[in-house]
Amino acid sequence: MLPFTRPSIGDEEQRAVAEVLASGWLATGPRVAAFEQALTDYLGGGVAVRVFNSGTSALEAALIASGIGPGDEVVVPAMSFAASANVVVRVGAVPMFVDVDPVSRNLSIETVEKALTSRTRAIIPVHFAGRGVEMGPLRELAAERGLLVLEDAAQAIGTRIGDKPVGASGNPVCFSFHPNKNMTTIEGGALACSDTGMVRRAERIRFHGIERDAQGAMDVPEWGGKMNMPDVNAAVGLVQLTRLDAFNRRRRELALGYIERLPRHPAVTLPADAPGHSWHMFCVCVDFTALGTSRPAFQERLQSLGVGSGVHYPALHLFSLYRKFGYKPGDFPAAERIGEQTLTLPLFPDMTGDDLDRVCGALQQVLDGGAS
């Protein structure tokens, strides 16, 4: 079975983990400090990086450190993973969903402007599947209105916008290093930001609100959670980061191979390439209704041919939690169509050309009515 994703873990990562286990220092320690510096060097732009136990924790800490809370509204695209909006609810704010572009699956300046109210405090653009959001207009709008821009780059480590990597902008940017991401720390995430005040607060928030003075005396000036990354995870990340650019080059080769080789069919819409795209996922849209089938049945037929697939993602505003805020079907047509039709095909660096042909052939066979 060819899965829709698989982490690329080699001997070097295994040796790095063994070294940490042998060292006796398993919690946050020297590997975390080294990983934070390596990420800082990789991103550039004068930002500081702090790592967390997940990308979700990084987003939550960034919102808290920015003072976002009850009574505030935060603009979020209706097409993303649940974490993008869950963290808004977690801090007591209200997610204001906006529709997305049907091709890029990213929000736009036009959709954001329509959602702004006197209570809007922040915008969370999501770089969907590794395709960078057009950030210039959003930053200008945010500067005019005094809004925070918190980039959800969980799927975009290594993505570039213009001549800069995502994360080098200076405003807070959060990454995920979950096993299905372009690089992994097993579980983990990071916050990159040039605001030293926010960075300092994020450090406290990720570990019980604790800070220490020059003599080591401890104080707890504010609430904090337990969001720190262990050294074992950082050791994996240090190796993975050296391989990231090669991983992304291979992802791009595979994605372009899909675009070239996948069958052209009126019921199938392919994603489009873009400069700097890191191709975290390859998500097609399939009009299952036009084919007289359902997504589960379609996926079962692919699986019978040895090809796994995923669903990324259902439209956020239609989940039960968010219907409580008054959202309903028909609010965001593009996100809803994507949510109903999306299908994620296998894409990971260790895939071969034969694997690519296998997926394309299987998709063609299912579209032709083959496989049971």
What amino acid positions are annotated as catalytic residues? 181
Alpha-carbon distances, residue 241 vs 41, 177, 293 (angstroms): 11, 10, 42
326 φ, ψ to 5°? 100, 5
- The C-alpha atoms of residue 174 and residue 149 are separated, in whole angstroms, by 11
Find the largest Cα–Cα distance for the chain.
72
